[in-house]
Structure formats: C-alpha cells, structure tokens
Amino acid sequence: MFDWLQNLPLLLPWLVILPLVWALLSLALGTHYRHWLAGLAIAALMLVNLGLVGQWLLEGDLTYALGGWEAPLGIQLRLDGLALALVGVTSLVITACALHASTYLDDYPRAQQYFWPLLAFIWASLNVIWLSADLFNLYVGLELLGLSAVGLVALTGQAEALGAALRYLYAALLGSLAYLLGVALIYSGYGQLDLLALAPLLQSDASTRLALALMTLGLLLKTAIFPLHSWLPPAHGKALPPVSALLSALVVKASFYILARLWLQTGTQVVVPSAAQMLGILGAGAIFWGGWMAWRQNELKMLVAYSTVAQLGYLMLMFPLAIGVSPAAAQLAWEGGWLHLIAHALAKAAMFLAAGNLVLAMRRPDLQGLHGVGRFLPFSLLGFGLAGVSIMGLPPSGGFMAKWLLLQSALLSGQWWWLLVLVAGSALSALYIFKVYQQCYVDDTEVDSFRHPSLWMDVSSILLAILAVGLGILSAWPQALIGSVLDGGAG
C-alpha cells in the first residue's frame, strides 16, 4: 500500500532547497508575511520528512547527486538512518523555536527582519551537513551555519550580545579554517573527498594524521569541547531564548556530527585508541568543568549554557567507548552517543525556551527571581522541570536510555573509568538542576507580580520537553535508525 512512496520523485534535495527558498522569500517579502511563510515552509518540510521516512523504510539508504554530477566532482547527498533521525530532530526543534519566536519576538521588532531568514539558513545548512557525503560540502555547510549562527547571536544589537557574537565569530572562523586545511591535505593526498570512498583508502601516514588532527582541532573548537569552550556560554547565554535553544540543541551538534563520522566511519584505519582516550579525557573535563561552572552560576540562562558545555562532554565519550573495543561494545557506544545527542537536543531546546519564558516573566535573570514561580507560572516551569529530568539522565527520559547504553558499553569493554565519569557527571548535573528546582518551592510572595508569557511560548517548550522525556519510552525506534548505520562499520 505504500508503493506510491517509491514512485515519488526523490525528496532528498528538497530538504535543502525548501529552507533556502524560505530564506530568500522572507528576505524579499519583509516581515509582513513572516508567520505565513514560516508556517508554509515548516508544513512543507514536515511532509518531505514524512515522505523520506517512508522511502527510507522501503528502500534503505538514499543518495542523490545534485545537478546529475556524480562524485567526486558533483555535490552528493546521502541519507542513512542516522541522518534521517537528525533531520527529523532538526525539524522538531526548529518548529518549536519558530513557534516560540513568533510571539517572543513581538518585543523585538528590529530583530524580526533578520531572525526568520537566518533561521531558514540555519535549517538549510544543518540539512546540508546531515546529508553531505563529502568533506568539502561539509565545509560549505559548516561555514554557512557558523555565519548564520553568529548573526542570530548579534540579533538584539545589545553590547553584551555583540561582544559574545564577535567571540563566536572568531571561534567559528578559526575552526573552519583548521578544518579546511585538513580537507585540503586529504584532497591533495588522495584526490577524493567522499566520506565512504575515503574509508578504505586512508593510509596511516604523517600527512593524513596531520590532516585528521587539524580537522579534529577545528571541529572541537566549533563544538566547544573543553578547554575550547569559553566562547559558548556567553554566546548561548546572552542570545534571545529561541536562538539559544537553536544553538545549544542543534548548531554545536553539527560539528560534532562531522567529527564522529570522520573518526568512526571514515578514519577507522587511522585513528588509534590512545587518541580516542584523549578525546574522552577532554569529554570528562567538559563534564566536570561544565557541571561545576553551571552549579556556580546565579543567572538562569548562564546555568543552562554551562550545562550545554557539560552535556557536550558526554558525546566525546563515544570515541573511547567505540574505538579499539569489541564490535558489540562499539555498537552500544554508537547508539548511546547519538541517542544522547538527540535527547539533549530536545531537552536543551525545551530548557532554553522555558528559561527564556521564566526570565521574561521574572523580569530579572537570577535564580532568586524564581520564588513563587511554582505557584503562579506552573506551565512555564513545567517545560523546565521535564527537560531537567532528561538532562540529569533520570528515567524514564531519553537522557536515561542514552546513559544506560553508554554505561553498558563501558562495562562491556571493561573501561570502568568512563563508567565512573558518566555516573559522577549525572550526579553533578542533578546538583545544578535541583539548585534551580529548589528556588521554585520558596513561597515568599503572596501577589502575582509576574509577566505571563504567551500560551505558544509555554507550549513550544512543554512539547519539546515531553518529547525528551517520552523518548525514553520510544527509544527503540531511534535506536533502530541509528544502529542501522554501523553494521560492519567502525569497531
């Protein structure tokens, strides 16, 4: 009964074309039609997503050469299970952020003009990254993504935001530059840029190692992995809430995605376990430093931003857990790592949106402003509360399932030190999340002096948070998608 899906023209390029059309139209038409345009674009992209799920289930991995040029000359898009999962998560998060921004930005008329086109550019570039099959396209996507993201941070034009945007810009440019150097080295060595085609070719020689090291360094900087993270907290903490949500949930993940594909799929012949352990140590540093700094913050949004630094650290544990171990352990680490990425994307977006609503309601950024929130603003708090459950990695959330898989992998490969890092990191995150919860129980005001956020602002955060928690119950599906990639891959 689903045969018609097979007969559809290939939907893949529309994932990139549609957001670009949206971006151009919203630049051309101005802000008057912004909500209509956003609604149309989101609806169209959601349909494409659904169609792609169907096609993928029927036909397996899909490839498409833009303009008919085959690799290595043309631009090739490739959709595997992992890319499909990430395309889906991207749509969900961007939809929620758009929903939130549609009323939040009423206070910022000047920002309207650029927010919508930049949002569309972000979507396009993210999809380019998830789908790109070669290193150079990834670079193009990365560059477009970085510049749009910097633009979004600078949106309000306030001094604090501009300063953060500038730091972000330097980090993004430096990161791309290092990455591009690595790509150039690979191309000069092998004359090939396709991720899968390179895998059997790569030799473990000095220039390949240098190339990989350069790319890794650039990507670590862009992913804000400890100790290269210092640009992230101001950029994410001082931006507008829908922007913060977008950046923390998706944008930083894009560079990690390239890093993980490079290490675990393309470079399996070159990477060595000791290097993977090094990445893991950076991850552990991020978990502890980020968690500790989050605990020390007294501004709600900065706390959430430092929590991102910590949570990104868990992603890095994928490398030591998946490299140089048995295929079974590697599979668990691969699935757990990506599941963590998805759970964190949903939960952190929900948390930033909720934090934005709370700050708006309190008219002050610090935690003490939360007194009485539980009584007068239960719905704004609900999104934060549920998202926190997933961030802490407590059941039944997606964060818990992801940690369970990572823990099992650590146990299976006998790397108990990563097990301890995972467990201690969770305890640390409980510490800073409950620091926030606790303030909400203080009940020292009898009058409701809060500014109540609009319904859509609360709903967008709650929906994402429910997804993050519900992911725990439904994680067998994303696990199947993610797991399908590795069969016979890294390990």
Partner 1 sequence: MTGWHYWLPLLVLLTSLVASALIFWVDEEHSKLRSSINLGAAVLKISLVVVILVGVAAGQVYETRFALLNNIDFVLRADALGVMFAGLSSVLWLFTTIYAIGYLEDSPNRRRFFGFFGLCVASTLGIAFAGNLFTFLVFYELLTLSTYPLVAHRGTAKALRAGRIYLTYTLGGGIVLLIGVLWLYGLAGDVEFGDQEKLSDLAVTHPTTLKWVFLLLIAGLAVKAAMVPLHGWLPQAMVAPAPVSALLHAVAVVKAGAFGIVRVVYDVYGITLTWELGLLLPLGVAAAVTILYGSVRALMQTDIKRRLAFSTISQVSYIALGISLFGPIGTMGGLVHLLHQGLMKVTLFFCAGNYAETLGIHRICELNGVGRRMPGTSLAFTVGALGMIGLPPVAGFISKWYLGTGAVAAGIYWVLPVLVVSTLLNAAYFLPLLHRIWFRPQTGDWPQERTLGRWDTSLWLLIPTLVTAAFSLLAGLLAASDFSPLAWVELIVSTEYLP
Q: Is 476 in the site for partner 1 (CB under 8 A)?
A: yes
Q: How many residues bind partner 1 (CB under 8 A)?
A: 36
The token pair that represents 249 in the structure block? 């949930």
Minimum CB distance to partner 1, residue 476 (Å): 5
Number of H helices and E strands in the chain, helices first, is 22, 2
CA distance 83 to 92: 14
Which residues, 6 or more positions from 278, have their beta carbon under 8 angstroms from its beta carbon?
Answer: none
Structure token digits, residue 451: 């500014």
| Binding of residue 327 to partner 1 (CB under 8 A) | no
Q: How far is the CB of 251 from partner 1 (least distance, A)?
A: 28
> Judged by CB, which is closer to partner 1: 187, or 288?
288
Using CB under 8 A, which of 163, 374, 470, 489 touches partner 1? Answer: 374
Sign of CA dihedral 349, 391, 283, 482: negative
Interface residue with partner 1 among 427, 449, 451, 455 (CB under 8 A) is 427
Min. distance of Cβ 78 from partner 1 in angstroms? 24
Is 389 near partner 1 (CB under 8 A)? Answer: yes
CA dist 164 and 231 (Å) reads 7
* 365 near partner 1, judged by CB under 8 A: no
Q: From the list 33, 483, 484, 489, which residue makes contact with partner 1 (rule: CB under 8 A)?
A: 483
Nearest distance from residue 439's CB to partner 1, in Å?
9
Whichever of 205 and 443 has its CB closer to partner 1, that residue is 443
Contact between 390 and partner 1 per CB under 8 A: no
Q: Are 188 and 206 in contact (CB under 8 A)?
A: no
Half-sphere exposure of 170 (CA within 13 A, CB side): 10
Cβ 482 to partner 1, closest distance in Å?
Answer: 11
Q: How far is the CB of 307 from partner 1 (least distance, A)?
A: 17
Q: Is 131 exposed, middle or buried (0-12, 13-18, 19+ CB in 10 A)?
A: buried
Query: Which residue, 43 or 420, has its beta carbon nearer to partner 1?
Result: 420
Listing DSSP states for 346-395 in one string gives HHHHHHHHHHHHHHHHHTS-BGGGGTTHHHH-HHHHHHHHHHHHHHHT-T
489/258 Cα distance (integer angstroms)? 16
Q: Which is nearer to partner 1, 188 or 368 (CB)?
A: 368
Of 430-459, which residues contact partner 1 (CB under 8 A)?
430, 434, 437-438, 441-444
Judged by beta carbon, residue 290 or residue 425, the one nearer partner 1 is 425
Pick between residue 45 and residue 407 the one whose CB is nearest to partner 1: 407
Closest to partner 1 by CB, 141 vs 398, is 398
Structure tokens at 266: 């393309």
Q: Is the peptide bond before 396 cis (omega within 30 degrees of 0)?
A: yes
Asked if residue 394 binds partner 1 (CB under 8 A), the reply is yes
CA angle (136, 140, 144) in 5-degree steps? 165
Rounded to a whole number of angstroms, the distance between the first and last alpha carbons of the chain is: 38
Distance, in Å, from the CA atom of 153 to the CA atom of 166, rounded to the nearest integer, reads 9
Residue 378 within binding range of partner 1, rule CB under 8 A: yes
Task: Report the run of H or E that residue 78 belongs to, with start and end.
Answer: strand 75-79
Instruction: Mark residues 397-426: x for contact with partner 1 by CB under 8 A, - for none.
Output: ---xx--xx-xx--xx------x---x--x
Min. distance of Cβ 413 from partner 1 in angstroms? 11
Nearer to partner 1, 17 or 423 (CB): 423
Measure Cα distances from 163 to 155, 296, 355 in Å. 12, 22, 22
Q: How far is the CB of 179 from partner 1 (least distance, A)?
A: 34
Residue 134 and residue 266: Cα distance in Å, rounded? 10
Nearest-approach distance from CB 378 to partner 1, in angstroms: 7
Residue 154 per-residue DSSP state: G
Nearer to partner 1, 72 or 374 (CB): 374
- State in angstroms the smallest separation of the CB of 435 from partner 1: 10
Q: Which of 119, 317, 475, 490 binds partner 1 (CB under 8 A)?
A: 475
47 vs 480 by CB, closer to partner 1: 480
Q: Which is nearer to partner 1, 147 or 419 (CB)?
A: 419
Q: Whose Cβ is closer to partner 1: residue 148's or residue 439's?
A: 439
- 299: three-class secondary structure by DSSP: strand
Reference 208, options 142, 137, 272, 139; nearest CA is: 272
* 45: its two tokens: 């992209």
What is the C-alpha separation between 176 and 143, in angstroms, rounded? 7
Among positions 51, 327, 395, 470, the unique one binding partner 1 when judged by CB under 8 A: 395
Query: Which residues contact partner 1 (rule: CB under 8 A)?
Result: 335, 374-375, 378, 382, 389, 394-396, 400-401, 404-405, 407-408, 411-412, 419, 423, 426-427, 430, 434, 437-438, 441-444, 472-473, 475-476, 479-480, 483
